[in-house]
Structures are given as structure tokens and as C-alpha cells.
Structure 1
Amino acid sequence: MKNLVLVGFMGTGKTTVGAALAASLEMKHTDLDDAIVEWEGRSIPEIFTDQGEAYFRDVETKRLAQLLAVGSQVVTTGGGAVLRKQNVEMMLEHGIVIALHATEEELIKRLEKDTGRPLLAGGVATRVKTLMAERAGVYDFAPIQVDTTGKSLSDIVLEIKRQVVERTQDGEQ
């Protein structure tokens, strides 16, 4: 089976959904951010502080290529992984891409509890609104789109599995 690649804005549930999806399909789950932390030997906030976002994005692209080459796994990405055309092309070539979405209000509620996100410095609500505006449409390339707002984890996983099966039966990506 091809890789299943989950993309979406931060807080949409990519890592949580990816782990549950992988378990239900008996596939390996790899979180791109975790793989970067392991490779770099330091946290993402430390990478941003020490080297900057451009360096982080370079590492992200290299690590994504390595992970996608393995095949047959669920790969969850950071929210900004789709900002590089090269990453999008790799995801589409080596996987079935699933974009997770949630309402702005839901994202703010989820992210207010998370202190480890460098791009949210300066106030969660303000940054979420700004980043969502900047990233409008960047996840539209994904052939499978799933709204996670107000849905249970099991319902989200079932919806993804249903859409993946439909696409594979239709001979699509």
C-alpha cells in the first residue's frame, strides 16, 4: 500500500488521527516533526531559535523524502510542510494525501492548551487567524479532505478509511 500522508493546519489532529489510523490499518505511523527532533537531537522550538525557520524547512524536506521512500506507512506532517512545492509533489507522488481541517474556533480552543509551538508566539487566537489567512487554500491539493470539527477520533478514522478505499477502487491516487 502507498503511504498515507496527513496534512493540515496545526491543531487539526494530524498526529492523533495518524496514530489511530495506522493502528486500525496495522501500518507503521511516523510523525515528521518527531523524526526531525530525533534526527536533529533537539526540539523544534530549539531549531527555530538556533537556526531559524528556513533551516527547519530544509531539514523537513530532506526528512520527508527519506520517510516517503520507505513506503506503506502513515506519515503525519507539520502544518507548514505543504508550504514548499517540492514537498507537495513528493507527497502526491509517494502517497495518498489526506488534508484535515477544523474551524478557526475549534483550532484556537485546541491550541490554547499547547505551549510547544514556535509559530504561535504572540497570542494563540491572533496567530491562528493570521496563519490561517496566510495559508488559505494551501491544503486544497489533497485529494481527500476531512473536517475534524466536533467528530470523534473513531469517526474521523472511519471517514478516512472509506475515502481511501473509494479512491483505490476507482484507480485514483
Structure 2
Amino acid sequence: MKNIVLVGFMGSGKTWVGKLIAERTGMPLLDMDSIIVERAGKSINEIFADEGEAHFRKLERELVQELAQTEGNIISTGGGIVLNPDNIADFEKTGLVVCLLVDAESVLDRVRNDDTRPLLAGDKEKAIVELLESRKPLYEAVTHKINTSGRPFPPVQTAEEVIALYNTFNS
């Protein structure tokens, strides 16, 4: 059984959609950020502060290589996973990669009170717009995409769309 790999900008709904898919399919959900935090013994903010973003991306890359070897999992990635094209290529070998697209306004609504995102320190709105704009071509390059902008919470419709895509892909 192939994996379902959810990619997309922070606040696009990867973790929530992953949880809903797991509930409906019985497949285990592997949240990459949670795994990295657990293994490092510190938060992502602390990893960024202590070792820098490059170190975090190295940990992320190593985990991609490990998880791409598995089968039958739902993998929720961090928003920056697309920065290294090898990550997407590796995941596509063993799974369906779905990018959850989102606009800046929806992201701001979803992460406004979230202080756990190191790349949004300072002016959140400005950081979201700039970061999203710089990564947009990378997200758009993913073959399978679902736009989650303005969708109601919880993201049941998005989860159902991913499952339908997976059933077609996995048959």
C-alpha cells in the first residue's frame, strides 16, 4: 500500500487533514515535525535558535529518506519540505504526494495566535506573504493539488478529496 504524503505551506491543514484521513482509513499518521521534535528533544523553535534552519533542514531530509522507505502511512510534512526537490522525488517513489494550497489570508486566520512557528517571528502577515510568494512555484510544481483556502474547519471535504484521489492512485 502506498503512502499518502501531505505537503503545503504552514496553516494549509496538513496535520488536520492527516488526522481525518487516519480516522477514516485506519492508516497511521506520521507527523514529521512531531517526529523531529521528539528525536531532537527540543521544539522546532529551539532547533532553529540553537542550530539554525540549515540543521533543521538536514534533520528533515534524513527523515524524508527514512519515511520514503515505508508503506501504508499518512505522512504530514513541514511547510518547507518543498525547498529540497529531492524530498518530493523520494516521496513520489512510494506514495501519492498531495499539495494543500492555501492563500495568505487563510494562513493568517489559521496561525494568528500560533507562536510555535520560527519563520513567522515578528510581523506575521508580512512573513506569510513573502514566504508564501517565494515558495509558491515549488508548491505549484507538485502534481496533485487541492486548494484549501477559505474552507470550513474541520477540513472534512479536503480529507475526502485526498482519500478519493488516493483510491484512484492506489488501484
Question: TM-score scaled by structure 1?
Answer: 0.93
Corresponding position of 2:160? 158
Identity of aligned residues (%): 36
The count of corresponding residues between Structure 1 and Structure 2 is: 169
Q: Counterpart of 1:56 in structure 2: which amino acid?
A: F
Corresponding position of 1:88? 88
Structure 2 residue ranges without an equivalent (≥5): none
Deviations 1:23-80 (A, max 9, x none): 2111000000000011111110000000000010001010122122222100000000
| Local SS of the residue matching 1:139 | helix
Deviations 1:89-148 (A, max 9, x none): 111112110100122211111111211000001211000010011112111232221111
Q: Counterpart of 1:21 in structure 2: which amino acid?
A: I
Partners in 2 of 1:158 and 1:101 — Cα distance? 16
RMSD: 1.2
Partners in 1 of 2:28 and 2:73 — Cα distance? 5
Corresponding position of 1:32? 32
Question: TM-score scaled by structure 2?
Answer: 0.94
Q: Counterpart of 1:48 in structure 2: which amino acid?
A: F
Cα drift, residue 5 of structure 1: 0.2
Q: Counterpart of 2:37 in structure 1: which amino acid?
A: V
Tell me if the contact between 2:2 and 2:170 (Cα under 8 Å) persists in the aligned partners. Answer: no
Cα drift, residue 82 of structure 1: 1.2
Partners in 1 of 2:163 and 2:63 — Cα distance? 26
Instruction: Call closer, same or farther: CA 1:94–1:141 in 2, change over 3 Å.
Output: farther
Partners in 2 of 1:141 and 1:71 — Cα distance? 24
Partners in 1 of 2:142 and 2:57 — Cα distance? 20
Tell me if the contact between 2:70 and 2:94 (Cα under 8 Å) persists in the aligned partners. Answer: no
Which structure's relative contact order is higher, taking Cα pairs within 8 Å and 6+ residues apart? 2
Instruction: Call closer, same or farther: CA 1:168–1:70 in 2, change over 3 Å.
Output: closer
